[in-house]
Amino acid sequence: MVRKVDTKQRGLLSRDIAREQKNMMYLMNPAVSIDQEEAFFKYFEANSPSEDEVLLRMEQAKLEQTLLTPKPLMEHYDNLKRSGGWDKL
């Protein structure tokens, strides 16, 4: 047996059908032609950085955020505390 379709379910189904019709319109009438898309990808491949460059930039950013962060001001004076003053530096 098939369940009865309520009015709420009909509304949801009609909304889904309208969305799918809109999606089909975009598929049938794309905003960019195939030639324009191919030209864009050729330009993108020619001008985009290589994977090695991207990895290097990511590693540099990680280093700058972890090991090469600015020191707090108190850590600059730790050497003075250990040595005893300005004269001994």
pLDDT band at 70 (very low <50, low <70, confident <90, very high): confident
- DSSP string spanning 25-83? HHHHS-SS-HHHHHHHHHHHHHHSPPHHHHHHHHHHHHHHHHTSPPPPHHHHTHHHHHH
86/53: higher pLDDT: 53
50/86: higher pLDDT: 50
4/79: higher pLDDT: 4
Give 2-56 pLDDT, tens digit per residue: 888 899 999 999 999 999 999 998 888 888 888 999 999 999 999 999 999 999 9
Over range 46-73, report the average pLDDT.
91
